[in-house]
């Protein structure tokens, strides 16, 4: 249907040294007037102060330098310190395909930062059209295709650029948009795909001024219409998505807000397809592996991988050292190498497609939750967290 005008981690040999002689006046005599009243601790302290040991022959004493408290460097990541207020949660990052030194990172509290050196340094970016109203925007998602880029946020705001982010234009939106915008993908010239937390998917081909629904109804409508669908927790569903992820070929996987089931959608389908979770614990997040299969995270730190590369409800658990903290996201650098991040600085790495994982213990010193792992390409990756924590991949 066409929606008019903007809807929406060997012993050493012993040597003997002559014992130094003690001074002739050891132990020191204390005045009688004080001897009766001095306590044992004071006696020891004054006795020690009165002893002057002669220096050892041939030995020069040097002052001991003070120990320095330094952070253990991460093996393959470095932290980039950002000019933002404490408490900001970073939510998304993207770079201009034609210039991978030029990128933007988004966050809460109306945070937009810009880099022109590949993410080594960042500066705040002001967009006038996002500051006209008295709102504290949460910028959720950003995407570029060529020089064309999109930003969405909450409360509902849509920004568009056609010159690699030098200038941003605000596109008006309809108050009838079902749910909050949580994801946007630039797909071509003046074209984009947008998803809301209620499962609405819209497509535009004219810079966002008109949108076409790619799905016939929201998730709530689908589940409530098919009450006998057999999906645990789906009947009379009135919640929203907690996470949604898109594959490179346009397929989506989303997790219900309570984590009791998940849904998938492929281009051409009229409705979201709900799936029972195949694990006992509730789902934290899901996403796509580099080989086209799915990864699944459960609350409490469990990691599962789907069997095969297609859509399936058959998953197997993989052992991970999460220390009991939840894993929140997985990002693939290549088909074999991936990184997982989570609560209290958990950072894990696999080099065999996810079969085994090792923890980067140096990351334990990071006092933050790591929410998102984003690889722009094989050599450029970032981990986003709360309190403005940004890690840059070194390789």
Give residue-wise pLDDT tens across range 54-66. 443 343 434 434 3
Q: Return the closest-CA partner of residue 337 out of 391, 290, 385, 384.
A: 290
pTM for the model stands at 0.79
Give the number of other Cβ atoms within 10 Å of residue 153's Cβ: 23
The average confidence (pLDDT) of the chain is: 82
**Region 281-288 average pLDDT:** 96
Dist. CA 387–CA 329, nearest whole Å: 17
pLDDT at 117 over 80: yes
Q: Return the closest-CA partner of residue 76 out of 376, 369, 363.
A: 363
Task: List the structure tokens of 353.
Answer: 């497609």
Give the number of other Cβ atoms within 10 Å of residue 190's Cβ: 16
Q: How confident is the model at residue 369 (pLDDT cuts 50, 70, 90)?
A: very high
Q: Which pLDDT tens digit goes with each residue over 149-186?
A: 999 999 999 999 999 999 999 999 988 889 999 999 99
Dist. CA 338–CA 217, nearest whole Å: 35
pLDDT of residue 20: 42
Q: How confident is the model at residue 311 (pLDDT cuts 50, 70, 90)?
A: confident
Dist. CA 188–CA 185, nearest whole Å: 9
pLDDT at 24 over 90: no
pLDDT of residue 46: 46
Percent of the chain with pLDDT over 90: 61
């Amino acid at each position: 249907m066409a929606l008019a005008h903007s809807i929406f981690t060997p012993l050493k040999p012993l040597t003997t040294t002559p014992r130094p002689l003690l001074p002739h006046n050891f132990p020191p005599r204390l005045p009688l007037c004080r001897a009766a009243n001095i306590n044992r601790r004071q006696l020891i302290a004054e006795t020690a102060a009165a002893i002057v040991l002669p220096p050892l022959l041939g030995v020069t004493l040097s002052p001991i330098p003070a120990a320095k408290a330094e952070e253990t460097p991460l093996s393959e990541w470095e932290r980039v310190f950002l000019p933002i207020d404490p408490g900001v949660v970073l939510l998304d990052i993207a770079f201009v395909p034609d210039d991978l030194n030029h990128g933007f990172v988004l966050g809460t509290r109306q945070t937009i930062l810009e880099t022109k050196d590949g993410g080594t340094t960042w500066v705040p970016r002001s967009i006038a059209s996002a500051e006209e109203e008295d709102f504290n925007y949460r910028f959720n998602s950003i995407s570029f295709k060529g020089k064309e880029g999109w930003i969405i946020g909450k409360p509902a705001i849509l920004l568009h650029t056609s010159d690699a982010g030098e200038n941003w234009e605000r596109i008006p939106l309809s108050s009838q948009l079902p749910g909050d915008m949580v994801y946007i993908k630039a797909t071509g010239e003046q074209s984009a795909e947008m998803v809301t937390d209620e499962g609405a998917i819209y497509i535009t081909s004219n810079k966002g001024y008109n949108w076409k629904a790619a799905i016939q109804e929201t998730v709530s409508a689908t589940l409530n219409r098919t009450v006998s669908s057999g999906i645990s927790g789906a009947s009379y569903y009135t919640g929203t998505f907690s996470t949604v992820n898109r594959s490179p070929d346009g397929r989506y996987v989303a997790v219900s807000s309570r984590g009791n089931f998940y849904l998938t959608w492929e281009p051409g389908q009229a409705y979201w397809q709900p799936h029972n979770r195949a694990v006992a614990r509730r789902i934290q997040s899901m996403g796509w592996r580099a080989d086209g299969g799915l990864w699944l995270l459960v609350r409490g730190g469990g990691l599962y991988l789907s069997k095969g590369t297609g859509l399936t409800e058959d998953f197997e658990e993989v052992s991970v050292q999460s220390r009991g903290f939840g894993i929140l996201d997985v990002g693939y650098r290549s088909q074999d190498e991936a990184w997982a991040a989570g609560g209290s600085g958990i950072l894990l790495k696999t080099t065999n497609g996810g079969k085994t994982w090792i923890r980067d213990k140096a990351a334990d010193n990071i006092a933050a939750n790591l929410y998102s792992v984003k690889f722009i390409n094989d050599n450029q990756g970032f981990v986003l967290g709360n309190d403005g924590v940004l890690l840059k991949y070194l390789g």
